[in-house]
Amino acid sequence: MRLVVLEGDGIGPEITAATMAVLRAADARFGLKLDLVEMPAGVKCLAESGTTIPETTAAAVRAADGLVMGPMDTYAYAGQGGGALNPSGFFRRGLDLYGNIRPARTYPGLRSPTGAEFDLVIVRENTEGFYADRNMEQGNAEILVTADVCVSMRRITKLCCDRIAASAFKLAARRRRHVTAVHKANVLTKGDGMFLASCRAEAEKHPGITYDEVIVDAMAAHLVRAPQKYDVIVTTNMFGDILSDLAIELSGSLGLGGSINAGDKFCMAQASHGSAPDIAGQDRANPASLVLSAAMLLGWQAEQGGSSANAFAAAAGAIEAAVAQVIQAGDCTTDVGGKLGTAAMGAALAARISAA
């Protein structure tokens, strides 16, 4: 399995290095035959070549089996011209990675701010919605009509609603068999009405899966009050982006949020948080988000079948177990109760995987 690795900006190089150590340990133990190919992207590339995504990098990604992307500092190059592309949006749209899957769960030894134990997944549509860089054939969906008036357009299509609903029910069938659709159809009657129609149609195909609907502002309150009530939450792009950060922070730290962007034939692992330039280079960042994202990428590969499926599934499970173990033992960064730096936590994870 050839994986292109983009280290990202800010804390990206640090957490990516820790993640690579973990992947190499899993590769050695389970015989995955990973080929990790590091390629340039982001702020440094913009300064050196006038683009955040050189064509050599884009070509390498298209030819690979998967992508591991460190966090990118999109704020640093927003509005700097045509070469200042958002790498996340570029690959999500370009490779049709329509499903953003973000689990959030509590860990033994780490108290949730809610005081409750929970294990849920937010399934978010990834290729349209209010995201102005990925919902037009050409140009951008934010328009400055006058100096004082901006219009932002949202695209919602039946195709995207149908397939994200199907993804949510497929995932729920492997979990606790409960899907909750989150929407704002009381205000966004056409777009969210279309989204709900797709979810309801999919629910009719799965009578053994409990299905319900919650308005997005109420859902924010419900996640704080009783996150344990939920299993798989499916929603549109921006709502899912916001709610997933909330749910992950309620697990104990935003640094624990694994995330993949999956299509039918390709998958990208990506930490659910940003590049945190204020702590870059200080060996303080929690690498668990990108580590868990890489584990999810291996799990996605296992779901594709083939002779190595069991090995990839076992490797994904071992990485997830190692994260839980280092948190419980305190062999982790300070945001989750430990005393280690980024590199040392990565080494602790790799050692547990190798020793098991």
Judge whether residue 355 has pLDDT over 70.
yes
Q: Which residues contact 256 (CB under 8 A, 6 or more apart)?
A: 104, 107, 248, 286, 288, 289, 292, 323, 336
Q: What is the pLDDT of residues 115-162, one digit of tens each?
A: 899 999 999 999 999 888 878 888 788 899 999 999 999 999 999 999
Q: Tell me what pLDDT residue 336 has.
A: 94
Q: Tell me what pLDDT residue 133 has.
A: 80
Q: Given 196, 218, 250, which residue is the final one in a domain?
A: 250
Q: Tell me what pLDDT residue 47 has.
A: 87
219 and 284 fall within a common domain: no
Phi and psi at 279, nearest 5°, equal -120, 10
Domain assignment present for residue 204? The answer is yes
201 and 121 fall within a common domain: yes
Judge whether residue 11 has pLDDT over 70.
yes
195 and 135 fall within a common domain: yes
179 and 89 fall within a common domain: no
With b meaning 16 or more CB within 10 Å and e meaning fewer, what string describes 98-117?
bbbbbbbbbbebbebebeee
91 and 140 fall within a common domain: no
Domain assignment present for residue 192? The answer is yes
263 and 245 fall within a common domain: no
Residue-by-residue DSSP string for 258-319:
--EEE-SS-EEEE-SS---GGGTTSS----HHHHHHHHHHHHHHHHT-STTHHHHHHHHHHH
89 and 146 fall within a common domain: no
Percent of the chain with pLDDT over 90: 87
Domain assignment present for residue 344? The answer is yes
177 and 144 fall within a common domain: yes
Domain assignment present for residue 212? The answer is yes
Judge whether residue 326 has pLDDT over 80.
yes
- List Cα–Cα distances, 111 to 65, 249, 336, 339, in angstroms: 37, 11, 9, 17
68 and 137 fall within a common domain: no
Q: Given 250, 282, 298, which residue is the final one in a domain?
A: 250
335 and 280 fall within a common domain: yes
Cα 71–76–77 angle (5° rounding)?
105
Q: Which residues contact 246 (CB under 8 A, 6 or more apart)?
A: 220, 223, 224
- pLDDT-based confidence at 79, cuts 50/70/90? low
Q: Which two tokens stand for residue 204?
A: 């009719």
Q: How far apart are CA 3 and CA 111, in angstroms?
A: 34
- Residue 15 or 111, more confident: 15
Domain assignment present for residue 105? The answer is no
Q: Name the packing angle between helices 12-30 and 309-329 (round to 10°).
A: 120
Q: How far apart are CA 152 and CA 131, in angstroms?
A: 9
- pLDDT-based confidence at 238, cuts 50/70/90? very high
Q: Which residues contact 150 (CB under 8 A, 6 or more apart)?
A: 142, 143, 144
Q: What is the pLDDT of residues 270-294, one digit of tens each?
A: 998 999 999 999 999 999 999 999 9
Number of H helices, E strands in the chain: 12, 12
Rg over CA atoms, the chain: 20
Biggest CA–CA distance in the chain, Å, is 62
Q: Which two tokens stand for residue 194?
A: 């279309």
Q: Which two tokens stand for residue 336?
A: 């989750």
Q: How far apart are CA 148 and CA 169, in angstroms?
A: 43
Domain assignment present for residue 103? The answer is no
Q: What is the pLDDT of residues 240-268, one digit of tens each?
A: 999 999 999 999 999 999 999 999 999 99
- Residue 74 or 105, more confident: 105
CATH number of the domain where residue 238 is located: 3.40.718.10
Percentages helix, strand, coil for the chain (3-state, rounded to 5) are 45, 20, 35
Q: Name the packing angle between helices 55-63 and 87-94 (round to 10°).
A: 40
Total domains in the chain come to: 2
Q: Catalytic amino acids?
A: 131, 184, 217, 241, 245
19 and 79 fall within a common domain: yes
Q: What is the pLDDT of residues 58-67, one digit of tens each?
A: 999 999 999 9
> What average pLDDT does this structure show over 319-327?
97
Q: Tell me what pLDDT residue 184 has.
A: 97
Percent of the chain with pLDDT over 70: 98
Q: 84, 233 in Cβ contact below 8 A?
A: no
Computed over every residue of the chain, the mean pLDDT equals: 95
Q: Given 250, 283, 303, which residue is the final one in a domain?
A: 250
Domain assignment present for residue 104? The answer is no
- pLDDT-based confidence at 201, cuts 50/70/90? very high
Hey, what amino acid is at 70? G
Host domain of residue 356: 1-98+259-356
- Taking the C-alpha atoms of 244, 102, 86 and 263 in order, what is their torsion angle to the nearest 10 degrees? -140
132 and 158 fall within a common domain: yes
Judge whether residue 2 has pLDDT over 90.
yes
Q: Tell me what pLDDT residue 135 has.
A: 80
Q: What is the pLDDT of residues 211-231, one digit of tens each?
A: 999 999 999 999 999 999 999
